[in-house]
Amino acid sequence: MDENPGSCGVINLSDWRERRPFTRFSEDIDIRIEPPKERQIMTGRNHNKPKDIRARKEFYDWVAKKIDIDGIEKIERDKAFDNKAMTSAGIRLFYKTTPPAMEGLRPGVLLEAGFDEVSPNSAQDISS
């Protein structure tokens, strides 16, 4: 394995505790989706008026309805991951699994959509 701790590759699990190849592991995908300008969504940290919070909630609901990915069978808003100001919200993608799901794993893939920048990050155009 490459000595770079951020690289991916095969690792001997007996060495894992000593080498610590990952300092953090996340079970979700953090994603920032810019609202269309015509929706007039205020995304700044200080935009916490009830109308701004309501507009962001409606935006996340709209995004969940618009997602179309091959292999994804169902999409639901996972409101357990919504924060009070609606600057972050959960969208769960469900797919068919061939083997039974492992015990203890949450179903599907969680998209944690929001307007904060997480580190590390890299702007990518994901439009088709």
> What is the block-wise mean pLDDT of the chain (128 residues), using blocks of 10 residues?
44 48 56 86 89 94 92 94 92 86 80 75 60
What pLDDT does 11 receive? 44
On whether the CB atoms of residues 63 and 31 are closer than 8 A, the answer is: no
CA 17 to the chain's CA centroid: 27
Q: How far apart are CA 54 and CA 52, in angstroms?
A: 5
What pLDDT does 124 receive? 63
What pLDDT does 4 receive? 45
On whether the CB atoms of residues 88 and 81 are closer than 8 A, the answer is: yes
Q: What is the pTM of this model?
A: 0.68
Residue in the block written with tokens 């001997």: 12
What pLDDT does 7 receive? 42
CA 14 to the chain's CA centroid: 31
Domain boundaries in the chain? 26-114
What pLDDT does 107 receive? 82
Cα-Cα-Cα-Cα dihedral sign, residues 50, 52, 54, 60:
negative
What pLDDT does 16 receive? 46
Q: How far apart are CA 102 and CA 110, in angstroms?
A: 16
- Nearest Cα to Cα of residue 108 among 67, 83, 80, 73: 73
On whether the CB atoms of residues 113 and 82 are closer than 8 A, the answer is: no
Residue in the block written with tokens 């618009």: 66
